[in-house]
């Protein structure tokens, strides 16, 4: 696939920013697990928190592939910053663009696209992870208002975000079709943010519980129609999973780069160990290239408005497995050095794992892919 000159220009600029601005912050994020507010602000100033948002809403006016390029390049330096951008854009800002009213566009898109606000996606609950339609957070009608009660778990960007795209049950008798989406601002009375989880990887990104307690919402805060929430969640996740796949691809390529730095120029064909390393390097490179093709094919389809449920699941499944495999190989091939914090490989290995788990576990993606295959 050939990138347009605009896409190439953005790629080069993001790559430079990742190297010069993000990479130097990684050690601090690893150590203090502190959310990188300053980096997010700088990215917002460059327009990158609104890449696929039209300029009339304060966005960058780029296409979906440009947005995926940004996550891919950023994640080579920091997968934590990559997921902050991915969740903010794919599953908060874009659903508002696609399903929001004119008033919701006016209230929220400018703030989210400029980065003055950060977005989050609140679907998962203690008893509803993979089985997302089993959520229990309730939104009960009270005249013109809704009253929300419930708990959300493992919410990326929580605490740092000002807007939470929240899914709640409005009609329990309708199952998935009784779920509705709402726009909940962090300042709304009744929303509280739980403790930040300590994770094995992605140390700069926030993951927290959210509690909604008698939170009153005007009906203008509903996104889409009553009962449309699950379709909004799943449709948005089709795009979101391409973002996570791009994040995984960035991790995989960063790990491959570490292996190349270690072994480049040291090829000795006669040594059995060198031959083994060459075989492994060849295989890992092919895996990373295949992941890249799947990621950019899915991004192309999304950009063209072609339904890509199967392709985005395939990209996410394959690229996340590739990230774990290649980062694991980097730790192994760098030997003891690979286990040291200073080498970077162990961080990539820790960061890679969750890409197989969030935005649908890879087991769920196997179900989604086979469901799509058997349906056609």
133 binds ligand CAA per the rule CB under 6 A: yes
Backbone angles phi, psi at 349, to 5 degrees: -65, -45
Q: What does the per-residue mask of binding to ligand CAA show for 305-324, with x meaning CB under 6 A?
A: ----x---------------
Residue 359 annotated among the catalytic residues of the structure: yes
Q: Among 234, 262, 297, 332, which residue interacts with ligand CAA (rule: CB under 6 A)?
A: 234
Using alpha carbons, select from 315, 295, 248, 300 the residue that is nearest to residue 74: 248
- Does 231 interact with ligand CAA (rule: CB under 6 A)? yes
Cβ burial 86-102 (10 Å sphere, 16+ → b, else e): bbbbbbbbbbbbebbee
Nearer to ligand CAA, 230 or 318 (CB): 230
- Return phi, psi of residue 9, to 5°: -65, -45
CA 312 to CA 88: how far, in whole Å?
A: 18
Contact flags string 11-50 toward ligand CAA, x per CB under 6 A: ----------------------------------------
Q: Is 121 in the site for ligand CAA (CB under 6 A)?
A: yes
Taking the complex as a whole, the smallest distance from the CB of residue 210 to ligand CAA amounts, in Å, to 12
Of the ranges 107-115, 119-127, 188-196, 284-292, which one interacts with ligand CAA (CB under 6 A)?
119-127
Which residue among 68, 84, 94, 132 contacts ligand CAA (CB under 6 A)? 132
Q: Whose Cβ is closer to ligand CAA: residue 166's or residue 186's?
A: 166
Closest Cα to residue 90, out of 138, 123, 46, 127? 123
Q: CA 351, 357, 362 angle in degrees (round to 5)?
A: 125
| Residue of 33, 103, 359, 363 marked active site | 359
DSSP string, 237-299: HHHHHHHHHHHHHHHHHHHHHHHHHHHTT---TT-HHHHHHHHHHHHHHHHHHHHHHHHHHHH
Which residue in the set 93, 156, 221, 356 belongs to the binding site for ligand CAA (CB under 6 A)? 156
Catalytic residues: 359
Q: Which residues contribute to the site for ligand CAA (CB under 6 A)?
A: 83, 87, 121, 123-124, 130-133, 156, 176, 230-231, 234-235, 237-238, 309, 358-360, 364, 368
């Amino acid at each position: 696939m050939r990138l347009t000159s605009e896409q190439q220009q953005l790629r080069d600029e993001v790559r430079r920013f990742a190297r010069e601005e993000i990479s130097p912050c990684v050690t601090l994020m690893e150590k203090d697990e502190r959310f990188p507010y300053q980096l997010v602000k700088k990215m917002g100033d460059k327009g990158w928190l609104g890449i696929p948002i039209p300029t009339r809403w304060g966005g960058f006016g780029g296409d979906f592939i440009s947005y995926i390029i940004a996550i891919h390049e950023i994640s080579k330096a920091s997968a934590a910053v990559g997921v902050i951008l991915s969740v903010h854009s794919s599953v908060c800002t874009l659903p508002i663009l696609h399903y929001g009213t004119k008033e919701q566009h006016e209230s929220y898109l400018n703030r989210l696209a400029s980065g003055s606000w950060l977005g989050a996606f609140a679907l998962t609950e203690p008893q509803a992870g993979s089985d997302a339609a089993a959520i229990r957070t309730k939104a009960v009608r009270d005249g013109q208002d809704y009253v929300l009660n419930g708990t959300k778990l493992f919410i990326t960007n929580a605490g740092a975000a000002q807007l939470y795209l929240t899914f709640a049950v409005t009609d329990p008798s309708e199952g998935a079709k009784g779920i509705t989406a709402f726009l909940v601002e962090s300042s709304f009375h009744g929303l509280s943010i739980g403790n930040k989880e300590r994770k094995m990887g992605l140390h700069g990104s926030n993951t927290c519980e959210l509690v909604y307690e008698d939170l009153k919402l005007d009906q203008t805060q509903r996104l889409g129609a009553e009962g449309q929430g699950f379709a909004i969640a799943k449709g948005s996740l089709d795009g979101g999973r391409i973002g996570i796949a791009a994040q995984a691809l960035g991790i995989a390529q960063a790990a491959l780069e570490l292996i190349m730095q270690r072994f480049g120029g040291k090829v000795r064909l006669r040594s059995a160990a060198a031959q083994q390393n060459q075989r492994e390097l060849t295989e890992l490179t092919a895996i990373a290239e295949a992941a890249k093709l799947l990621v950019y094919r899915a991004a192309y389809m999304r950009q063209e408005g072609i339904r890509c449920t199967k392709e985005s699941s395939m990209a996410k499944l394959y690229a996340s497995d590739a990230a774990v495999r290649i980062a694991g190989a980097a730790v192994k091939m760098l030997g003891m050095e690979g286990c040291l914090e200073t080498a970077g490989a162990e961080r990539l290995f820790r960061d890679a794992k969750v890409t197989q788990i969030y935005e649908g576990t890879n087991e769920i993606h196997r179900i989604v892919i086979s469901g799509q295959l058997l349906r056609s």
